Amino acid sequence: MRSGACDRLALEDALKQGVVSPPLDHIAFGALNNGGTILPMAIRTSEPHRGRVLISCPDGPGIVATVSRFLYEYGANIAHFDQHATAPVGGRFFMRAEFDLVEAAGEVLALDREFAPIGRRFEMQWQFRDVSVPYRLAIFVSRAEHCLLELLWQRRAGDLPADIAMVISNHRDLEETVHGWGIPFHHVPVEPGRKAEAEQEQLDLLAGRVDVVVLARYMQILSPHFIQQWPARIINIHHSFLPAFAGARPYHQAYERGVKLIGATAHYVTEELDAGPIIEQGVERVDHGDTPEDLRRIGRSIERHVLARAVSWHVEDRILLHGNRTVVFD
């Protein structure tokens, strides 16, 4: 039996014996954990304080039971739980848990320090987050507005749990649009021979104010220096189902090839162009009657939805990196 399944059974036994208290909502094991378990709801005695923990480590027995006991001893109730192991034996283990603190509201981040001995024991990379503190986004755009508007609308509708701290553009085309949403707009032109100066101005604007950079059809290639300052924190939307139709006029290339599917890819930015870990992809069927403009229109719709999903998953801490791949929990 794989270690993930053993840990699940150990946790269920602990719950039955009262070693780990029942959660406020439920503990959910996804399809990768061989099924689901829903436990009775506990009565809420006060408004809980939600936290998250992300863990990546070599797979082995006892991980889930140890983490669950730690949270229980700190007064936390597990609300959601997902895990994945890359191989039955000797793989890598990934875990995401949401928990509620009732007695120690506001002390989520203190768990990080207390958790250190366990982290070292299992050779973990881990992160605790206070859900009440939203991520702050900087959206980079050029002239196209569709991806930007989707993010703005989802934020207003409450579907994107993040704050949009600023919009940065190398053109002024969308300045009035952004100001209409009450968000700071910064025009940073990228002129020939002054790319380094422009990027430094952008970095200065981001410093201490932003957690994630979103390239919402920003038509500039970021330098390795810029990317190194924001590892796994720059999300890009690419106008094709990667890898395909690189370079200029992708929809004309698609039209000339008579494609039957077009798509878009959201990925983390790395120094290798359009080759970073893929977060989300989407496709739509097209046919011989679609013109290049039809493909462009359909493509814009795919792009905005794929990018919005990728950004939402990032700010909900649903993504863990595994080399150049991603583990994305539901």
The per-residue pLDDT for range 140-156, each reduced to its tens digit, is 999 999 999 999 999 99
Residue 46's pLDDT is 55
pLDDT in tens, 307-327: 999 999 999 999 999 999 999
243 pLDDT band, cuts 50/70/90, is: low
Give mean pLDDT, residues 162-168. Answer: 98
Query: Domain 135-328 falls in which CATH fold?
Result: Rossmann fold (3.40.50)
Other residues' Cβ atoms within 10 Å of the Cβ of residue 95 = 24
- In contact, 151 and 307? CB cutoff 8 Å: yes
For the range 39-48, what are the long-range contacts, defined as Cβ-Cβ under 8 Å and sequence gap of 24 or more?
39/15, 42/77, 44/102, 45/102, 46/102, 47/105, 48/24, 48/77, 48/100, 48/101, 48/102, 48/105
Of the candidates 211, 204, 203, the residue with the CA atom closest to the CA atom of residue 234: 211
Query: The tokens 């689901």 sit on which residue?
Result: 36
CA-CA distance, 79 to 222, in Å (whole number)? 39
The answer to which of 253-262, 271-280, 288-297 has the lowest mean pLDDT is 253-262
- In contact, 313 and 280? CB cutoff 8 Å: yes
Bridge-partner residues for 81, per DSSP?
97
- In contact, 56 and 92? CB cutoff 8 Å: yes
- In contact, 130 and 157? CB cutoff 8 Å: no
Give mean pLDDT, residues 224-241. Answer: 93
Tell me if residue 130 is catalytic. no
Residue 164's pLDDT is 98
Give mean pLDDT, residues 281-300. Answer: 92
Query: Domain 3-130 falls in which CATH fold?
Result: Alpha-Beta Plaits (3.30.70)
Angle between helices 63-73 and 3-17 (to 10 degrees): 30
CA-CA distance, 226 to 138, in Å (whole number)? 14
| Torsions phi, psi for 304 (to 5 deg) | -65, -35
Residue 110's pLDDT is 86
CA 295 to chain centroid: 28
- In contact, 124 and 38? CB cutoff 8 Å: no
Delimit the domains of the chain by residue range: 3-130, 135-328
Structure-model confidence comparison of residues 234 and 273, the more confident one: 234
Residue 256's pLDDT is 79
Of the candidates 329, 255, 281, 304, the residue with the CA atom closest to the CA atom of residue 154: 304
Global confidence as pTM: 0.81
Give mean pLDDT, residues 12-35. Answer: 37
CA-CA distance, 313 to 328, in Å (whole number)? 8
- In contact, 7 and 64? CB cutoff 8 Å: yes
What average pLDDT does the chain have? 85
Give mean pLDDT, residues 168-172. Answer: 97
Residue 16's pLDDT is 46
Give mean pLDDT, residues 31-36. Answer: 31
| Torsions phi, psi for 4 (to 5 deg) | -60, -40
- Token duo for residue 97: 């848990």
CA-CA distance, 240 to 43, in Å (whole number)? 48
Contact partners, residue 192, CB within 8 Å, separation at least 6:
none
- Among 173, 274, 294, 317, the active-site one is 274
199 pLDDT band, cuts 50/70/90, is: very high
Angle between helices 292-315 and 250-257 (to 10 degrees): 120
Q: What percent of the chain stands above pLDDT 70? A: 82
Query: The tokens 């649009």 sit on which residue?
Result: 177
Residue 21's pLDDT is 39
